[in-house]
A and B are shown apart, each in its own frame.
Chain A
């Protein structure tokens, strides 16, 4: 399993989406999120996008006010995860049209559905935006 969790966090450090692929208790999650967010948000643009924390490696990328943080195993390809974050953002852009924090907040379940189509049990399932979005569009049409 490569990806262990995916977080979206705003500039104030509030979690906007959290998906874990391994079980952590609520307290552990809160503590982990707090520590990671503090570490990553303190870094400057010039510094690299990787932070080692406990036994995770955090790959993060900032888009406007939103941070995307992905926790991975130590032997994961960091650059590929960086590319994956970008793919995730592009996919969300295509669906929401220039995605922003509020889109994710108010359509949390949609964001999760998209993620579900892209990652399963910590591995990438699909890398084509069309394939990712088709089921979601179908569902939108149905309701």
Chain B
């Protein structure tokens, strides 16, 4: 015996591994064995090759790397004896995959074995080929497999059939060669051949419409007959399961019939009788029978309509749903989802039972049922169903709450009949499971609250009540704090009392208490604390009696370890102490947030870096988790996608909350104005109060859309002092002094409103041999930063372009919004065009000109084409 080869037998190795007490011991044993096997491989040890390979398979199953044994498989396959080949092929299937180049080396051995005189060896080769063959091997060996489909022994035919499936999936072009042999397999009696033959036909239908047509015409009758024979066959011990002959074959046949019947009335007609027979006669007291019924129902649902059969199928599902066996209930829920598409009314009848399933103790059933309920909800039943779901939220498992909350929020948003109901439901969800509510959801809630002017008082009182009891729900606290800050006066004075409300007495100091709790609570995160701080600033003006106390709270935060809070506290303190005269204007109520802009942004149309006209689907609002730092910016309608670091979030918040539109101030002449006009400039900057009404609306949209680009500097500088062109003091560390400088240092910004804006020449922004893109520019009056661009695409080639998609990206100082294109098909040779509107907002207006990188994708003659380019020749001063 070779001195290096491991003497241990397989059995002993397994024992040694079993005896290991710890993972470390196991690793040691495996390492030793692997070393011995490697040595044996190096020595080219023949005697123990198959034993070593068996060991390697065991080792691989335990999760250790075994790539060094791959060549041994090939050697064993190439040997002549059956046992060696057997283990070699097994190793091949377990240790190798189709991506490895080693596999190519085995093609020749496979070919020889497929032609071997021993049929068991042929079977081995077929099995290996069926499990791991690559596209190249499929091409090389397809003729052999085709021939073996007609082999005398059925055991070879059945394996050849499954092997063919792998081949046609790898190389769909080969499908047509297999259509005829596959059809002849359907006529056989051997169950193995039948089940694999049916499977092969099913897969052929999937890859080739020609095959589908062929089987539909030639084989439907035959298949129906086979199914009838099987269903009516007398007891067959070899295939009998619980009194049913070969349920697996039943199911395969039903699956194939489903594909043949789908979209074809004749074929569907042909199978109606047998489906009715299977649906009525199959025993439903055992799992095997139910498996067949389940498959049969799916087939009935999928083939062309036959009223009677559908009723039968829905009844079976109803029976399933009330079954005590959880497995059966699970598949019933699964199938009812599919039935929704066919007959929603029938499914609605089971609503009560389905709702019960949401409350089941089994997570799998809960999940299915919840998804089904989600589909069941419509305008008519949203109220009772939401009520049930929210009630269940109180008692559901922690793990399930996330899913459930997301679904409830989405339903409430989608079907809410009126605002007050929406707000009520959301408050309930926030109180029960606020920690599971996604950022977009509570942002949306704030937008809705902001818009429901007549409900402000009601909402703030309801929120105040809710935070008294559910202090641990972060998002509830945030929304409550925001509302108290904005509408605190309504809370205290019972403004806008609705009839349904219970009267509540809240003093000014109670309201401050609630906010103070939020800021002092240990578990509050930065966002919540920052929001509470702002709320306090606002309350200080609303409640003059609490002003002193609020200042104390703010002063306490001057030493906060989080820079953001520290800085804000210092600034706010400064406002409270030294700028009484402007405070009330500073902290006025937020202008009503624009719902359309917000929902547009939520739909994903406004990421700052790259905008595309295809937004994420609107009905999946909870799909994307935003980074925690961004929420406020987002809420306040900033594009948050490029928020660089958590610390800047408070900055955005402040910036936005105060409505600071930084850009106008960058007009160069601002710095030399006399100091006495300081208040004015601040008001100007804040776009508050002093603007004539006509302009204030446009400046609001300005705030909403344009102030985001200075975020990065803002993170470093003091919030208000971050204007890029300001005095050097602005960059010194945050202090009251520099604040003063800033506030007093500048005169009114002589902003140059170009009411109608000059006309700009149009521009051929991009031109290639196949495509031309022209830009036409226009400006909105009073909004010099924003440029509206109409892009026109013209096709210069003689071919039509399909799936036309224009994408554009801009640097951070620009903000880009793309409207949907007028079409996605571009006619040939300039016989028409596509137009698409873009809106670009330049935060560095007057300093930098526009620049844009573009990408245009389309399909020409079904070939995908991608064109890219950069546009830097925009007219200056856009």
Residues of A within 8 A of B (CB): 1, 15-19, 21, 23, 26, 29-30, 33, 43, 46-52, 77-80, 82-84, 87, 105-106, 108-109, 112-113, 116, 120-121, 123-131, 135, 138-139, 142-143
Q: A116 and B82: CB pair below 8 A?
A: no
- What chain A residues lie within 8 Å of B94 (beta carbons)? 19, 112
From the candidates B120, B123, B192, B328, name the one contacting A128 in the complex (CB within 8 A): B192
Residue pair A109, B290 in contact (C-beta under 8 Å): no
Q: What CA separation (Å) do A129 and B11 show in the bound complex? A: 27
Assess whether B248 is in contact with A124, with CB atoms less than 8 Å apart: yes
How far is it, in angstroms, between the C-alpha of A7 and the C-alpha of B330 when the chains are bound? 22
Name the A residues within 8 Å of B57 (CB-CB).
108-109, 112
Q: Which residues of B contact A126 (CB under 8 A)?
A: 155, 158, 191-192, 195
A63-B123 Cα distance, complex, nearest whole Å: 31
Does B176 lie at the interface of the complex (its beta carbon under 8 Å from any beta carbon of A)?
no
The contact sample of 19 A-B pairs, CB cut-off 8 A, is: A18-B61, A21-B131, A47-B362, A47-B363, A47-B365, A49-B327, A77-B291, A79-B291, A79-B327, A79-B328, A80-B295, A108-B57, A113-B86, A120-B130, A120-B131, A121-B165, A125-B192, A127-B195, A139-B83
| B158 and A123 form a contact (CB under 8 A) | no
Q: Which chain A residues lie closer than 8 Å to B61 at the CB level? A: 15-18, 108
Instruction: A50 to B333: give the CA distance in the assembly, Å.
Output: 13
Residue with the highest number of chain B CB atoms closer than 10 Å, among A26, A30, A33, A83: A83
Q: Who on chain A is nearest to B15 by CB?
A: A106
Is B247 interfacial (CB-CB < 8 Å)? Answer: yes
Contacts of B295 in A (CB 8 A): 77, 80
A residues less than 8 Å from B86 (CB atoms): 113, 139
- Whose C-beta in chain B lies nearest to the C-beta of A78? B331
Report A-chain residues with C-beta under 8 Å of the C-beta of B90.
109, 112-113, 116
CA distance A42 to B238 in the complex (A): 36
Q: What is the chain A residue whose CB lies nearest that of B54?
A: A109
Q: Which of B60, B64, B127 contacts A120 (CB 8 A)?
A: B127
Contact indicator A48/B99 (Cβ below 8 Å):
no
Judge whether B155 and A131 touch: CB under 8 Å: yes
B251 touches A80 (CB 8 A): yes
**A-B residue pairs, 8 tightest by C-beta:** A79-B291, A48-B326, A23-B97, A47-B362, A126-B192, A80-B291, A120-B162, A48-B330
Given contacts A17-B61, A108-B57, A130-B238, contact A50 B83 (CB under 8 A): no
Distance (whole angstroms) from the CB of B812 to the closest CB of chain A: 36
Given A50-B327, A83-B247, A120-B127, does the pair A15, B63 have CB atoms closer than 8 Å? Answer: yes
Q: Does residue B65 face the partner (Cβ distance < 8 Å to A)? A: yes
Cα–Cα, bound, A80→B296 (Å): 12
In the bound complex, CA of A131 to CA of B241 (Å): 16
Given A83-B248, A120-B159, A135-B123, does the pair A23, B99 have CB atoms closer than 8 Å? yes
Contact B14 A125 (CB under 8 A): no
Task: Give the docked Cα–Cα distance between A87 and B57 (Å).
Answer: 24
Check B330–A15 contact: CB distance below 8 A. Answer: no
A6 to B137, CA, bound (A): 25
Contact between B191 and A127 (Cβ–Cβ < 8 Å)? yes
Considering only CB atoms, which chain A residue lies closest to B329 in the complex? A48
- Say which residue of A33, A83, A127 sits within 8 Å of B291 (CB atoms): A83
CB contact under 8 A between A77 and B98, given known A106-B14, A138-B120: no
**A50 in contact with B251 given A26-B63, A108-B54, A124-B195 (CB within 8 Å):** no
A23-B98, A106-B14, A112-B94 given; A125·B159 CB < 8 A: yes
Expressed in whole angstroms, the Cα–Cα distance for A120 and B364 within the complex equals: 29
B288 at the A interface (CB under 8 A): yes
Number of interface residues of B (CB under 8 A): 68
Which B residues are CB-close (under 8 A) to A15?
Answer: 61-63
Assembly CA distance A25 to B86 (angstroms): 24
Secondary structure class of chain B's binding surface, majority of residues: helix
Q: Which B76-111 residues have C-beta < 8 A from chain A?
A: 82-83, 86-87, 90, 93-94, 97-99
Q: Which B residues lie within 8 Å of A116 (CB)?
A: 90, 93, 127
Q: Which residues of B contact A (CB under 8 A)?
A: 11, 14, 18, 54, 57-58, 60-65, 82-83, 86-87, 90, 93-94, 97-99, 120, 123, 127, 130-131, 155, 158-159, 162-163, 165-166, 169, 191-192, 195-196, 199, 238-239, 241, 246-249, 251-252, 287-288, 290-291, 294-295, 326-331, 334, 361-365, 367
A109 to B11, CA, bound (A): 12
In the bound assembly, the distance between CA atoms of A51 and B58 in angstroms comes to 27
| Complex Cα–Cα for A124 and B425 (A) | 50
User: Which residues does chain B contribute within 8 Å of A47, judged by CB atoms?
Assistant: 326, 361-365
Q: Name the A residues within 8 Å of B288 (CB-CB).
A: 79, 83
A30 and B130 in contact, given A80-B251, A131-B155 (Cβ under 8 angstroms) = no
Closest approach, in angstroms, between the C-beta of A96 and any C-beta of chain B?
Answer: 15
Please tell me which one of the listed residues A18, A43, A142 contacts residue B82 in the complex, with CB atoms under 8 A apart: A142
B128 to chain A, nearest CB (A): 9
State the Cβ distance, B57 to closest chain A Cβ, in Å. 6
Give chain A residues whose Cβ lies under 8 Å from the Cβ of B162.
Answer: 120-121, 123, 125
A109-B87 in contact (CB<8A):
yes
CB of B258, distance to nearest CB on chain A (Å): 11
Max chain A Cβ within 10 angstroms of own Cβ: one of B82, B246, B329, B363: B363
B291 cross-chain contacts in A, Cβ below 8 A: 77, 79-80, 82-83
Of the listed residues A30, A46, A47, the one surrounded by the most CB atoms of chain B closer than 10 A to its CB is A47
Q: How far is A87 from B248 in the complex, measured between Cα atoms in Å?
A: 11
Q: Are A48 and B249 in contact (CB under 8 A)?
A: no
Tell me if A51 and B196 are in contact (CB < 8 A): no
Tell me whether A52 and B241 are in contact (CB under 8 A). Answer: no
A108 to chain B, nearest CB (A): 6
Take A18-B61, A47-B364, A48-B365 as given contacts and tell me if A127 and B331 are in contact as well, using a CB distance cutoff of 8 Å: no
- What B residues does A108 contact at CB under 8 A? 54, 57-58, 61
- From B17, which residue of chain A is reached at the shortest CB distance? A105
Q: What's the minimum C-beta distance from B191 to chain A, rounded to whole angstroms?
A: 6
- Taking CB atoms, residues of chain B closer than 8 Å to A21 are 131
Give min CB distance, A124 to chain B, whole Å. Answer: 6
With A80-B247, A108-B61 as given contacts, are A123 and B199 in contact (CB-CB < 8 Å)? yes
CB pair B192–A87 under 8 Å, yes or no, is: no
Which residue, of A19, A112, A126, has the highest number of chain B Cβ atoms within 10 A? A126
CB-based nearest A residue for B327: A48
Query: Contacts A79-B290, A139-B82 hold; do A123 and B120 have CB atoms under 8 A apart?
Result: no
Q: Are B65 and A51 in contact (CB under 8 A)?
A: no
Which residues of B sit under 8 angstroms from A49, Cβ to Cβ?
Answer: 326-327
Residues of B close to A43: CB separation below 8 A:
362
Contact A51 to B364, CB < 8 A, known contacts A116-B127, A139-B82: yes
B159 touching A128 by the CB < 8 A rule?
no
Interface centre among A17, A23, A121, A139 (most CB of B within 10 A): A121
Are A83 and B367 neighbours in the complex by a CB distance under 8 Å? no
Cβ A50 vs Cβ B195 within 8 A:
no
Which residues of A are found within 8 Å of B82, using beta-carbon distances?
139, 142
